[in-house]
Amino acid sequence: MEKPATLWDRSRQAVVAEIVDTALTLFAEQGYEATTMAQVAARAGVSQRSLFRYFGTKEDLVCGEQDALGELLVATVAAQAPEVSAWDALRAGFTAILTASGHTPERVLEISTLIFANPPLRARYFEKRLKWQRALTPVIEKRMGIEPGEIPDPGAMGLIATVFACVDTASELWVRHGGKADPFELYEQALAAVRD
Amino acid sequence: MEKPATLWDRSRQAVVAEIVDTALTLFAEQGYEATTMAQVAARAGVSQRSLFRYFGTKEDLVCGEQDALGELLVATVAAQAPEVSAWDALRAGFTAILTASGHTPERVLEISTLIFANPPLRARYFEKRLKWQRALTPVIEKRMGIEPGEIPDPGAMGLIATVFACVDTASELWVRHGGKADPFELYEQALAAVRD
DNA sequence: CGACAGGTTGGCAGTGACTGCCAACCTGGC
DNA sequence: GCCAGGTTGGCAGTCACTGCCAACCTGTCG
């Protein structure tokens, strides 16, 4: 659909990435809440005003790129063959996210640790996930043979919420193991306990 | 354990309740984010400083009393007979919360609607729930015959997270039905879709 | 009754995230 | 050279929240 990828766009991307980099460095040096937006702006060489134009909130310095991942998740789930179960479709979606994040595992671990350690970040992350869940509801309802209506079906919503809960569980344990455990296996273990 | 219930304690309780009342009224009149803490303080007849001493954060005006419910939840789950399954123990815990909240259903609906409609409140609620989940982990691990260790068991964590996810699903749908649906049934429907 | 200790309150000034507004600037097309 | 549209930076303001200090209230002991 949209594929011009202007020079302007790319340079903006670069600026954003650089700001995120300096922010993460500062967060690692001083901690998240001890770092002010003014500091980030100063070290990144932009005005505070522009920093807020780029990111809107301090949390989005860390959680900002997740919107794109959410779209990928929904698209991947929707693209699964109709005979694939809701469970497997969702697993495929999360697998796609994990493999397509475009970061090194160390970077992912760093960001995840930051998020799990800071309540405001965790809250923001959760909020975004909620949007993903809402977007997935009609997709999963269709896959379960339920006619999407005004108010979502409890079964579909519960199933989605459960998968997210297990993904969260796996993520948190992965972080607490310092990235040394296999996230897929953790996810399977969590889900196995749920599904008998 | 602690049961003196000083006069002082009770009067403080009354003050807190009255402040919450005026706050909820203001939120209903103008919306949550359009209401400032200064307004709440003024109408409740306390200084802004004391208001923050009572509640700490604006969100706690709405979510403050949940700490007590969390303790009730954990205690109820722990008190179930050992042969009761983890699922049933958790259900008993949530049932206890629902019946012991000490509010009229209309009030519960009002508060729930407020929480579901305002991201910051929802985030705060989620944060508190996380603490409940962590407190429940060893209890459920024991019930599942798992030796509690340094890092929680994926199965136990996943099971707990799933129950919370389904409770959340039921709550949200209950709110979206304007309180006209049976929350227990919504919960059962959500869980049924998860457990085949 | 008066002095005293401990906890509670209110005001005040400050910090930090975030926003609206406006002027300066930079870019491309004519 | 000039103009329209979008981008930036600075400035002042709002609001949640905090530390500090002085005033106060309450109960206790002498």
Vertex A69, ends A123 and A39: CA angle to 5°?
A: 55
* Residue A3 confidence (pLDDT) above 50: no
Kindly state whether A155 is in contact with chain B, defined as any CB-CB distance less than 8 angstroms: yes
Query: B101, B84, B86, B56: which is closest to B163 by C-alpha?
Result: B86
Say if the Cβ atoms of A169 and B151 lie within 8 Å: no
Query: What's the average model confidence in pLDDT over B122-136?
Result: 96
What are the tens digits of pLDDT across the range A106-136? 999 999 999 999 999 999 999 999 999 999 9
What are the tens digits of pLDDT across the range B146-167? 999 999 999 999 999 999 999 9
Number of other residues whose CB lies within 10 A of the CB of residue A53: 10
DSSP single-letter state for residue B81:
-
Q: CB under 8 Å to A165, separation ≥6 — which residues?
A: B158, B161, B162, B164, B165
Contacts of B172 in chain A (CB under 8 A): 157
Q: How far is CA B93 from the centre of its chain?
A: 12
Q: CB under 8 Å to B113, separation ≥6 — which residues?
A: B175
Interface test with A, best of B122, B126, B128, B194 (most A CBs within 10 A): B194
Q: Are B191 and A192 in contact (CB under 8 A)?
A: no
Say if the Cβ atoms of B161 and A190 lie within 8 Å: yes
d(CA A106, CA A16): 20
Question: How would you class A6 by CB atoms within 10 Å of its CB: exposed for 0-12, middle for 13-18, buried for 19 or more?
Answer: exposed
Query: A92, A162, A24, A18: which is closest to B162 by C-alpha?
Result: A162
pLDDT recorded at residue B3:
47
Q: Are B159 and A193 in contact (CB under 8 A)?
A: yes
What are the tens digits of pLDDT across the range A159-193? 999 999 999 999 999 999 999 999 999 999 999 99
Residue A151 in tokens? 């108010």
What value does the mean pLDDT of chain B take? Answer: 94
pLDDT recorded at residue A5:
59
3-state helix, strand, coil in chain A (%, to 5): 75, 0, 25
Number of other residues whose CB lies within 10 A of the CB of residue A192: 13
Distance A120 CA to D2 C1' (A): 49
Indicate the residue type of A67. Answer: D
Residue A97 in tokens? 């996210």
d(CA B167, CA A86): 20
- What chain A holds in terms of domains, given with CATH numbers, is 7-58 (1.10.10.60), 63-194 (1.10.357.10)
pLDDT recorded at residue B6:
73
Residue B131 in tokens? 């603490």
